[in-house]
Amino acid sequence: MTKKIAVLPGDGIGVEIIAEALKLLDALKNDGLDVELTEAPVGGAGYDAAGKPLPDETLALVKQADAILLGAVGGPQYENLSRELRPERGLLGLRSELELFANLRPAILYPQLADASSLKTEVVAGLDIMIVRELTGGIYFGEPRGIRKKDNGEREGFNTLVYSESEVDRISRVAFDIAMKRGKKLCSVDKANVLEVSELWREVVENVGQEYKEVELSHMYVDNAAMQLVKWPKQFDVMVTKNMFGDILSDTAAMLTGSIGMLPSASLDANSKGMYEPIHGSAPDIAGKGVANPLATILSVAMMLRYSLDQPALADKIDTAVGRVLDKGLRTPDIMAQGCKEVGTVEMGEAVLAEL
Ligand code: NAD
């Protein structure tokens, strides 16, 4: 059956990198990939086209799509807009409208790029971690929240960290399922020594773990997890954690790899419908120059094939092609190293295409 993919290039380099990803998707049609691609504006482009960052037509399109491929949003020309019209609101709208509660952030360091990390090569070469972050609950959304005045006139800010059993249950199932497809190790990160929410979190994760006996489950406090990620990251396979801890730890893990232009991400709903995007932004400083690294977006396509379109063989094909291109020494400026050949966005995209 034809799968519908909504393609949202967004702003800045989003447009350039999505163009390369689309060439790959087109080429994979020869391998039997049956997809229908429809483009729509979001972010600043949405504001320009329809006066808001998530236009109604775009929302209707993504709602009936099987998967969404997104470039990036944002740009200096939109910074003075009111909060609800800013490009980033388009992203938040997509996440909440589609109930994308599971954020998958791999931190993979291709051995060919080990020099790009600020850590020692032996600590990071070949790193392959998957961080599963809860995305629609926790302290970022908990009520009550606000800034209020105390009896003595002093102001105080407050937020609520709340997780229900069902929220923990569904995110842990996503993490266990992913662990089953990988190294069968799952580390749940919490703060159960201090927070009641974490006590419940740990209990629910343990319970779900009873159904996944093959997966080796461990628990770690978030402060220790932050240390261990930097000390010996290769001890981890899959990590699962709540929204705020995941926000911070996934950025730490991403930077272990040293190259923001290489990292894909996925956000999934309960039925494996997902939105796939590079973790980087619209990079206004290099937009339009033809030098943006398209590999994070290309690897996002591989994730889409794996997690939403049930095409693991095609996903492997893309991953392998990217590895071969790096083996050949082709590098965009952000990952350039001595002895390699510097290429632009289009040349990099076409090199991957040729390897396919
Ligand atoms: P950024 O990720 O856009 O850029 C940070 C730095 O990394 C820049 O120097 C940029 O040139 C470089 N970079 C990023 N992607 C690259 C790539 N593919 N190839 C080569 N170099 C790359 O973050 P920023 O500068 O903080 O934000 C710029 C805009 O993007 C802002 O409007 C911000 O709100 C938005 N943003 C959007 C997303 C998203 O769409 N998911 C994420 C982060 C930031």
Q: Give DSSP secondary structure letters for 12-33.
A: THHHHHHHHHHHHHHHHGGGT-
Same domain, 308 and 282: yes
Residue 258 has pLDDT above 80, yes or no: no
The per-residue pLDDT for 276 is 98
Q: What is the mean pLDDT of the chain?
A: 95
Same domain, 50 and 73: yes
Q: How far apart are CA 9 and CA 5, in angstroms?
A: 12
Same domain, 70 and 190: no
**What percent of the chain clears pLDDT 90, i.e. is strictly above it?**
91
Residue 336 has pLDDT above 80, yes or no: yes
Same domain, 161 and 294: no
Annotated catalytic residue 251: yes
Q: How far apart are CA 67 and CA 276, in angstroms?
A: 8
Residue-wise pLDDT for 62-73, tens only, equals: 999 999 999 999
Residue-wise pLDDT for 195-227, tens only, equals: 999 999 999 999 999 999 999 999 999 999 999
Residue 92 has pLDDT above 90, yes or no: no
The per-residue pLDDT for 278 is 97
How much is the average pLDDT of 284-289?
97
How much is the average pLDDT of 179-191?
96
The CATH number of residue 24's host domain is 3.40.718.10
Q: How far apart are CA 32 and CA 10, in angstroms?
A: 28
Cα–Cα distances in angstroms (integers) from residue 141 to residues 92, 146, 158, 160, 204, in the given order = 12, 11, 12, 8, 21
Annotated catalytic residue 237: no
Q: Tokens standing for 287?
A: 């937009």
In the listed set 262, 282, 307, which residue is the last one of a domain according to the structure? 262
Same domain, 118 and 61: no
Annotated catalytic residue 319: no
Residue range of the domain that includes 128: 105-262
Same domain, 131 and 83: no
pLDDT band at 40 (very low <50, low <70, confident <90, very high): very high
For the Cβ of 105 lying below 6 angstroms from any atom of ligand 1, the answer is: no
Number of domains in the chain: 2
Test site for ligand 1: of 282, 293, 295, 345, most ligand atoms within 8 A of the Cβ: 282
For the Cβ of 72 lying below 6 angstroms from any atom of ligand 1, the answer is: yes
The residue type at 144: P
Same domain, 218 and 258: yes
SS3 of the chain: helix, strand, coil, percent, to 5: 45, 20, 35
Question: Is this structure's pTM higher than 0.85?
Answer: yes
Same domain, 79 and 156: no
Residue 125 has pLDDT above 90, yes or no: no
Annotated catalytic residue 223: yes
Same domain, 251 and 285: no
The per-residue pLDDT for 116 is 80
Residue 325 has pLDDT above 80, yes or no: yes
In the listed set 218, 244, 262, which residue is the last one of a domain according to the structure? 262
The per-residue pLDDT for 346 is 98
Same domain, 328 and 274: yes
Residue 254 has pLDDT above 90, yes or no: no
The per-residue pLDDT for 114 is 85
